[in-house]
Amino acid sequence: MQQQSIKIDLSDRSYAIEIGTDLLGNVANVSDLPKASSALIITNDTVAPLYADCLRKALKNSYQQIECLVLPDGEEHKNWQTLNKIFDALLQNQCDRKTVLFALGGGVIGDMTGFAAACYMRGVPFVQVPTTLLAQVDSSVGGKTAINHPMGKNMIGAFYQPQLVVCDLATLDTLPARELSAGLAEVIKYGPIADMAFMEWLESSMDALLARDRTALAYAVRRCCEIKAWVVGQDERESGLRAILNFGHTFGHAIEAGMGYGAWLHGEGVGAGMVMAAELSQRLGLVDAGFVARLRALVQRAGLPLNGPVLDVVDNAGRYLQLMRVDKKAEAGEIRFVVIDGPGRAVVRAAPDALVREVIDACCS
Ligand code: NAD
Ligand code: GLY
């Protein structure tokens, strides 16, 4: 399979996303790596036994000193304590301003490594090597880095761009099926917000994606990265347009925080959250029932939950509203939702609490 390259155009912060198979073991030839004498691979205890040796060997002619830090796996570890382990390793190994951090893993490793890179010595270079579908189509691209706070998802972080993203599709072979489905949620979102032709392609290609057909995966990763590059190139710091990439996330983040990080996967929250956001769009008179039904069908075929969980048996909608007020899109305590205002188009807007309650009551079980 031919290697494909997509550029994120951000003047002096521009970089390439390289997509292909078996890139990990050949990473020094895939693209120019940041020059330095030392590198730190940051990964977790699930991914390390699978891929850390391969990456380390592939880097050995590019860096004199290569260390590997293995963190505990899981969304519940995306916090200050784990972040501090990265700073400890950087200091213990006398890493300097040029030391390159390699984020080897899914979105949790990518978000934490990126945040550590933004902070250590006020900024060191980092390379994203995403090994989940979700990270390849979304989290490794665009420079959002963060950790969670018990009161809100991704609330502490920074915009900090990587210098290179290397998506090796072969790593997806070892991904558990549940994680593949979670990644498909972020794939699906690009259709309704930006590209109905892509949504149609997904409707006809979902079986191939679930079967991990390399050609289908390569096209999905490429198209998602192209759309994300187009959005991020116009609005790097989310002063407007970029918020559409959060379709389904306002409800989804409430689910993740409300259930306790790790109970629902991020992509599962986004799956059920997109259904809720589509239902809200319909109640606001922006899309018809046919559109909502199409989105529901796609979410279901991807193996994702259609309904959100009950977070509070006494006042479930009230609990969702309380959690959703702690959202980066909220302004002056008013929750703002990404809604679909016509197939392939999204906007951000507030909605009456009563309508949101109606959606939550209809969509949680
Ligand atoms: P994850 O990082 O937890 O990875 C999912 C699971 O798969 C983990 O258990 C991981 O160890 C395992 N894994 C990773 N690669 C594997 C492989 N090749 N084979 C076998 N197992 C593998 O979760 P995720 O879905 O990749 O990312 C979710 C995170 O990304 C959330 O924290 C979310 O907030 C964040 N996110 C960030 C952005 C952004 O723009 N920065 C966008 C979307 C999501
Ligand atoms: N995942 C949303 C964003 O990158 O903006």
Atom of ligand 1 nearest to the CA of 135: 26
Q: Compute the distance from residue 143 Cα to the ligand 2 centre, in Å.
A: 9
Residue in 258, 294, 280 with CA at minimum distance from that of residue 340: 280
Q: Compute the distance from residue 144 Cα to the ligand 2 centre, in Å.
A: 7
Where does the pLDDT of residue 354 fall: very low under 50, low under 70, confident under 90, or very high at 90 and above? Answer: very high
Average pLDDT, integer, range 86-95: 98
pLDDT score at 201: 98
Average pLDDT, integer, range 257-270: 96
Query: Which ligand does the CA of 242 lie closest to?
Result: 2
Q: Compute the distance from residue 13 Cα to the ligand 1 centre, in Å.
A: 24
User: Whole-number mean pLDDT of the chain?
Assistant: 97
Ligand 1 touching residue 171 (CB < 6 A): yes
pLDDT score at 340: 98
Residue in 100, 97, 142 with CA at minimum distance from that of residue 120: 97
pLDDT score at 28: 95
pLDDT score at 151: 87
Where does the pLDDT of residue 331 fall: very low under 50, low under 70, confident under 90, or very high at 90 and above? Answer: confident
Residue 346 predicted with pLDDT over 90: yes
Ligand 2 pocket test, candidate residues 128, 134, 144, most atoms within 8 A of CB: 144
78 close to 145: Cβ distance less than 8 angstroms: no
DSSP 87: H
Residues with a CB atom less than 6 Å from ligand 2: 138, 142, 144, 242, 245-246
Alpha carbon of 57 to those of 19, 24, 60, 66, 143: distances in Å? Answer: 20, 10, 5, 9, 27
Where does the pLDDT of residue 329 fall: very low under 50, low under 70, confident under 90, or very high at 90 and above? Answer: confident
Q: Compute the distance from residue 184 Cα to the ligand 1 centre, in Å.
A: 12
Q: Compute the distance from residue 66 Cα to the ligand 2 centre, in Å.
A: 30
Exposure of 269 in the CB half-sphere (CA atoms within 13 A): 24
Where does the pLDDT of residue 316 fall: very low under 50, low under 70, confident under 90, or very high at 90 and above? Answer: very high
Ligand 1 touching residue 167 (CB < 6 A): no
Residue 1 predicted with pLDDT over 90: no
pLDDT score at 200: 98
Q: Which strands make up the sheet holding 38-44, listed edge to edge?
A: 4-8, 15-20, 164-168, 126-130, 100-105, 38-44, 65-71
Query: Which ligand does the CA of 158 lie closest to?
Result: 1
Atom of ligand 2 nearest to the CA of 228: 4
Where does the pLDDT of residue 353 fall: very low under 50, low under 70, confident under 90, or very high at 90 and above? Answer: very high
Residue nearest to atom 3 of ligand 2 (CA): 245
Where does the pLDDT of residue 75 fall: very low under 50, low under 70, confident under 90, or very high at 90 and above? Answer: very high
Length of the chain: 365
Where does the pLDDT of residue 65 fall: very low under 50, low under 70, confident under 90, or very high at 90 and above? Answer: very high
Ligand 1 touching residue 128 (CB < 6 A): no
Where does the pLDDT of residue 333 fall: very low under 50, low under 70, confident under 90, or very high at 90 and above? Answer: confident
Ligand 1 pocket test, candidate residues 104, 132, 246, most atoms within 8 A of CB: 132
Query: Which ligand does the CA of 75 lie closest to?
Result: 1
pLDDT tens, position by position, 267-293? 999 999 999 999 999 999 999 999 999
Ligand 1 touching residue 174 (CB < 6 A): yes
101 close to 40: Cβ distance less than 8 angstroms: yes
Atom of ligand 1 nearest to the CA of 172: 18
Residue 332 predicted with pLDDT over 90: no
Residue in 117, 216, 131, 199 with CA at minimum distance from that of residue 167: 131
Where does the pLDDT of residue 328 fall: very low under 50, low under 70, confident under 90, or very high at 90 and above? Answer: confident
Q: Compute the distance from residue 232 Cα to the ligand 2 centre, in Å.
A: 9
Identify the structural domains of the chain with CATH numbers, from first to last: 4-174 (3.40.50.1970), 177-363 (1.20.1090.10)
Active site residues per annotation: 122, 144, 186, 228, 238, 242, 246, 249, 253, 266
Average pLDDT, integer, range 239-260: 96
What percentage of residues in the chain have a pLDDT greater than 90? 96
Q: Compute the distance from residue 18 Cα to the ligand 2 centre, in Å.
A: 19
Residue nearest to atom 5 of ligand 2 (CA): 245
What percentage of residues in the chain have a pLDDT greater than 70? 100
Where does the pLDDT of residue 199 fall: very low under 50, low under 70, confident under 90, or very high at 90 and above? Answer: very high
Residue in 324, 315, 319, 274 with CA at minimum distance from that of residue 295: 274
Q: What is the pTM of this model?
A: 0.97
Ligand 1 touching residue 266 (CB < 6 A): yes
